[in-house]
Amino acid sequence: MESKRLAGEKAVDFVEEGMVLGLGTGSTVYFTLVRLAERVKQGLNIKGVPTSIETERIARHLGIPLVNSGEAGKIDVAIDGADAIDSHFTLIKGGGGALLREKMIALAADRFIVVADPGKFVTDLTHVNLPVEIIPFARELTEIHVKGLGCTTRLRMKDNKPFITDNGNFILDCSFSEIIEPNDLQMKLNRIPGVVENGLFAGLADQIITVDHSGKAAVLET
């Protein structure tokens, strides 16, 4: 928990007066939000674009000013977490179910900063569950096509019912025996009718903030 706090808080060092920020989702970003709220109370003028209903709820509770993506005009910096980060700084995201909005905001931002504790780093993404957001209609047909790319799939459940994203969709958690070309895989997934988006974030992170062996926050340039 301490490493999450250090990484999450460090990201606020990159926030400047007047910025529009993409506010990610998850346990590490929570510490970013808390620190950001402290800066706002001290007089920092920023606006945030939340990537999930949960982040919006937390940000409003903390007193962080919010705008929607249409009102924002541009996003200077997006700050978000990751479920896994490989040696090439390719991310898997979507464990919290917000992958579509997270990817939209990450792509729109001038700079994408990822905050992660050291446990998120892996040698490769093999056997790391890859979330794929799909529309509910004919989801069995979509699942067949996704499996055709060489993975096993599991429909994400919550309270004995299919998990519903903020966008009203389902999520397939997919396990691939190997992910050699992430860019190729994400394009193939997104070409399948019924697939909305996938949790591969390849070549998007500009900086990754984690904690080094000495216990201090470290910034990795990608």
Residue of 17, 54, 71, 102 marked active site: 102
> Is 108 inside a domain boundary?
yes
Average confidence (pLDDT) over 20-33: 98
Q: Which residues of 61-94 are buried (b: 16+ CB within 10 A; e: fewer)?
A: ebebebeebeebeebbbbbbbbbbbbeebbbbbb
pLDDT band at 1 (very low <50, low <70, confident <90, very high): confident
Partners of residue 47 on adjacent β-strands: 20
> Is 211 inside a domain boundary?
yes
* Coil, helix or strand at residue 95: coil
* Residues 6+ positions from 135 with CB-CB distance below 8 Å: 142, 169, 170, 194, 196
| Same domain (yes/no): 188, 138 | yes
pLDDT band at 21 (very low <50, low <70, confident <90, very high): very high
> Is 125 inside a domain boundary?
no
Please report, rounded to a whole number, the percentage of residues in the chain having pLDDT higher than 70: 100
| Same domain (yes/no): 102, 207 | yes
| Same domain (yes/no): 206, 155 | no
Q: Are 32 and 139 in contact (CB under 8 A)?
A: no
Q: Tell me whether residue 178 is one of the annotated catalytic residues.
A: no
| Same domain (yes/no): 65, 158 | no
CATH code for the domain of 194? 3.30.70.260
25 is in an annotated binding site: yes
pLDDT at 70: 84
70 is in an annotated binding site: no
pLDDT at 153 over 90: yes
Domain residue limits at 107: 2-118+202-221
> Is 124 inside a domain boundary?
no
| Same domain (yes/no): 47, 103 | yes
> Is 64 inside a domain boundary?
yes
| Same domain (yes/no): 81, 168 | no
Structural element, H or E, at residue 7: helix 2-10
pLDDT tens digits, one per residue of 28-69 = 999 999 999 999 999 999 999 999 999 999 999 999 999 998
Q: Could you tell me the pTM of the whole model?
A: 0.95
* Residues 6+ positions from 4 with CB-CB distance below 8 Å: 27, 28, 31, 115, 117
pLDDT mean across residues, the chain:
97
